Structure 1
Amino acid sequence: MTRVTELGYIGIEASDLAAWERFAVDLLGLQPGVKDEAGRTLRMDDKTHRMIIVPGPADDLAFSGYACASETDLDALTARLREAGHGVEEGDEALAAARAVERIAVTADPAGNRIELYVGLRDAGTPFHSDVLHSRFQTGTGGAGHTFLMEKAPRQDLLDFYALLGFKVSDYCREEVAPGVMADAVFLHCNGRHHTVGLADMPVEKKMHHFLIEVGDINDVGEGYDRCLDAGTPMEMTLGMHPNDQMFSFYVRTPSGFAIEYGWGGLIIDEDSWTVREYDQLDSWGHRAPAQVAAALSAGA
């Protein structure tokens, strides 16, 4: 079955582009790309960009770009979406140039999230370099990372849409995270990365709860955690690990208010032998809210 191959890039509409560049480059280790009136781009590897920051008041996810292996695959996916009743528009040369791709088509999932299907994300003219990382970001065949989206539409409608792009369910998790508050999530993969899209029914106003970026050295997670703490950047969750994708990570609040999960060691699945599982907890250990940690430390003082 024809499918997308990876999450190639994401776009963020942000009210403070300079704050985003400082946050991403100085604290997380991304490399600056293009800076102009259209916004700013950020590199994670030898591709010309993996994050695109555009000016605007939303402070939320603006678009997600998914790679197709060929123009034939893009045509097949476009036809499949249209046959299922989803509108798809062919992107013009200006949009393709802005995204640094050979060809692009635009659609939206049932929650209204803009989806860009493309062929041929351009390589940058220079090798990737970070001033703070020991390792490199783990992109490769797994793509830029994963998005964890809020279900602003019925779950089955969303699952049906992402299935048209070739996504399959990795697993489910449902946990009462506070009295009367349930976190109900499903995780989807389109390659060996455990999940490229997470969908959750949670009381979060933004379209996206977090975006994951993964490094290749556990020390980069620890040092990134320290950099964020030293800079006074608000933490969403402390160091911890998930039981399903086995990611060791922390969550830090971006200048736009949603979180970045900064992780290491995520599970690579064998798609041919993978069995869907159900979990009753989101975290194996850690990933505590800072207020919870502060209260525990205060009680023990």
Structure 2
Amino acid sequence: MSGVKELSYVVYEVSDLAEWEHFGVHLLGMEYGEKTANGFTLRTDDKIHRWVLEEGPADDLVASGYEVASDAELDELVARLRDAGLDVTEGDSALTSERQVQRLFATTDPIGNRIELVTGLADAEAPFESKYLLGTFVTGAGGAGHQVLMSKGVSREEYLAFYVDLLGFKISDVIIEEVKPGVFADLIFLHCNPRHHTVALGDMPHTKRTHHFMIEVSDIRDVGMAWDRCLAAHQPFEMTLGMHPNDMMFSFYVKTPSGFAVEYGWGGLLIDDATWEVKTLDRLNSWGHRPASEVASQLHDDYIR
């Protein structure tokens, strides 16, 4: 069955472009791409962009661009979506030019997230370069990274029918943890290439459409250096350094100027579908990833004692 092969780019509507430029370039080590009609883009590899920032009040995800391997597979996927009763609209020349892709069809997932199915995201004219990184960002066959989206009361059966049955994702695993008495984080992780997950969906206490986007680096030292840059800039952290038990990502979570988070990680697990077994885990973190506010409060209490 044809399906998506990677998360190619994300589009966010943000209220403070200047803060986002500082955050993306100077703290995370991305490269400024180009100025657009209502914002700018960010690069993490040799593609023309991976992040598109548009000025506006939402401070949230507004579109996810998923790449399909060929025109024939894109046509097959669009036909399958339409046969399932979904509204699918072909992007005009203005939109394909804006996204820097050859073809684009847009639809909406059951949660209300805009999905852009594309082919041919353009390469940049110059190689990616960041003066802040020792290594590189990990993209390639794994795409831009992964994102965690909130289900907003939509049943798992309904959104899996879209992502698995129609878009072709496969289930990696499930995590259900009681994060507070009577409060559960219940997430399912999906992959469309060897990256452990490209998208995860489920219930967590969170107000945004997106909980976080993960960018991965090839050199573990870059995690520490980004941590230090964010710390020096007093950029609020979501969670401290730690590791997940499913994708084995060593990472920290820092809040963006829009309030959702970026996970900055290294060492993510790759899946071999021939041997992978789907499991249900009972904890989100093997160690660390403590809420930053909790750690700050403990440090304050220890200091005054």
TM range (shorter): over 0.9
Deviations 1:34-88 (A, max 9, x none): 1133210000000000000011100000100000110001001101111111110
- Work out the CA distance in 1 between the residues paired with 2:231 and 2:284: 24
TM-score (norm 1): 0.98
Q: Deviations for 1:246-269, whole angstroms, at most 9, x for unmatched residues?
A: 000000000110000000000001
CA contact (8 A) 1:13 1:59 kept: yes
Partners of 1:210 and 1:261 lie apart in 2 by 6
Instruction: Give the partner amino acid of 2:155.
Output: P
Give the match for residue 251 of structure 2: 249
Q: Secondary structure at the match of 2:118?
A: strand
- Structure 2 residue aligned with 1:205, among 192, 202, 207? 207
1:157 equivalent in structure 2: 158
Q: How does 1:56-205 map to 2 (within 5 A)?
A: 56-152=56-152, 153-163=154-164, 164-205=166-207
Counterpart position of 2:282: 280
Give the share of equivalent positions with the same residue, in percent: 59
TM-score (norm 2): 0.97
C-alpha distance after superposition, 1:144-193 (max 9, x if no partner)? 00110000222211111001111011000000111221100000000000
- Asked if the contact 1:185/1:201 (under 8 Å) is kept, the reply is yes
Q: Residue 4 of structure 2 aligns to a residue in which SS?
A: coil
Task: Structure 1 unaligned segments of length 5 or more: list them.
Answer: none
**Mapped partners of 1:272, 1:78: distance in 2:** 28
Give, as a single letter, the amino acid of the residue that structure 2 aligns with 1:290.
Answer: A
Matched residues in 2 for 1:220 and 1:248: separation? 11
In structure 1, C-alpha distance between the alignment counterparts of 2:294 and 2:16, rounded to whole Å: 29
Structure 1 contact 29–132 (Cα < 8 Å) conserved: yes
Is the 1:191–1:271 contact (alpha carbons within 8 Å) kept by the matching residues of 2?
no
Query: Structure 1: which amino acid aligns with 2:297?
Result: A
Q: Which runs of 4+ in 1 moved over 2 A?
A: 294-301
Matched length: 301
Give the partner amino acid of 2:163. Answer: Y
* Deviations 1:231-289 (CA, angstroms, capped at 9, x unpaired): 00000000000000000000000011000000000000101221101100000000011
Distance in 1 between residues matched to 2:258 and 2:299, nearest whole Å: 29
**Are residue 31 (structure 1) and residue 38 (structure 2) matched?**
no
CA RMSD of aligned residues (A): 0.9
Aligned-pair distance for 1:203?
Answer: 2.1
Please give the alpha-carbon distance, in whole angstroms, between the structure 1 residues aligned to 2:207 and 2:80.
Answer: 31
1:299 is displaced (CA, Å) by: 4.2
